[in-house]
Amino acid sequence: MTVLTFTIILLLGAYCAGLLGSLTGLGGGVVIIPLLTLALGVDFQYAIGGALVASIATSSGSGSAYVKEGITNIRLGMFLEIATSIGAVVGALVAIYLNNNIIAVIFGIVLIMTVVNQLRHKTDHENVKGSETARRLKLYGSYPLKDGTWRHYELTNVGGGFGVMVVAGALSGILGIGSGVLKVLAMDTIMKVPFKVSTTTSNFMIGVTAATSAVVYLQRGNIEPGIAFPVMVGVLAGALTGARLLKTLNVSTLRKIFCLAIALVALNMIYNGINGNF
């Protein structure tokens, strides 16, 4: 395969990854890793570098819109970033000792968790009685409703959320993906943060977590210019198209199809990983 052919295939693939990632809210990295490893036969180590680039691009690209709307809880994000960045440091250290097959199995498991999270029924926690720790840390906030009024919210179980965030950071450090599923789990399920605030704050944090690991992976050689360039350009273009389409499109069917596809990819990853094919 020539450089030109490879670049065009990867550009198109990354565009679709960015498009689907932003339409479904899963981020770009989730599609980039299987695209590179399963479809193009690229070593997992390079795929992780590509996924990091994709994660930062989508997080920063779509994050800018959400922050402006005032949904993201910056204090909460900043406080939990201590946990995710410590996790990311640990993940990048641990990754040295993991072979590609183990990484593939872990990736498959995270993908399945992501699908389950997508399909579960979402409720916005209301009238949560916040904890004393959360109050001291000034983690309470308010977010805009559709009618323009602001709703106040409180949250609880800061310690539990912090702990899950360390794990989320470690997984991002190992896999290069944002592991948004664990971040949302920590905030939504454990700390009882309203769902919309959880997802936007999670998306916002993904960039910082991914950048923490990426500075190490860049020095290790995982971020290869010939892969980084088409991934960055393609994912960003796709994410921008996705953000436009989201305003007009009803994505619930697409989301279900995508979840099914991701579940199949996850099983494929786990199967190939257990058989030592990577």
Judged by the rule CB under 8 A, the positions of this chain that interact with another protein are 1-4, 6-7, 40-46, 53, 56-57, 59-61, 63-65, 67-68, 70, 72, 74-75, 78-79, 81-82, 85-86, 88-89, 92-93, 96, 137-138, 142, 150, 207-208, 210-212, 214-216, 218-230, 232-233, 236
What is the nearest approach in angstroms of another protein to the Cβ of residue 252?
28
Nearer to another protein, 191 or 262 (CB): 191
* CB distance 204 to 57 below 8 Å: no
What is the nearest approach in angstroms of another protein to the Cβ of residue 96?
7
Nearer to another protein, 78 or 254 (CB): 78
**d(Cα 120, Cα 60) in Å, to the nearest integer?**
26
Tokens 């819109």 locate to 65
Nearer to another protein, 1 or 121 (CB): 1
Nearer to another protein, 118 or 199 (CB): 199
Query: 65-87 as b/e, with b when 16 or more CB fall inside 10 Å?
Result: ebbeeebbbeebbebbbebbbbb
Nearer to another protein, 16 or 90 (CB): 90
* CB distance 177 to 30 below 8 Å: yes
Please name the amino acid found at residue 222. N
What is the nearest approach in angstroms of another protein to the Cβ of residue 267?
23
What is the nearest approach in angstroms of another protein to the Cβ of residue 108?
20
**What residues have CB less than 8 Å from 56, skipping those under 6 apart?**
206, 207, 210, 211, 214
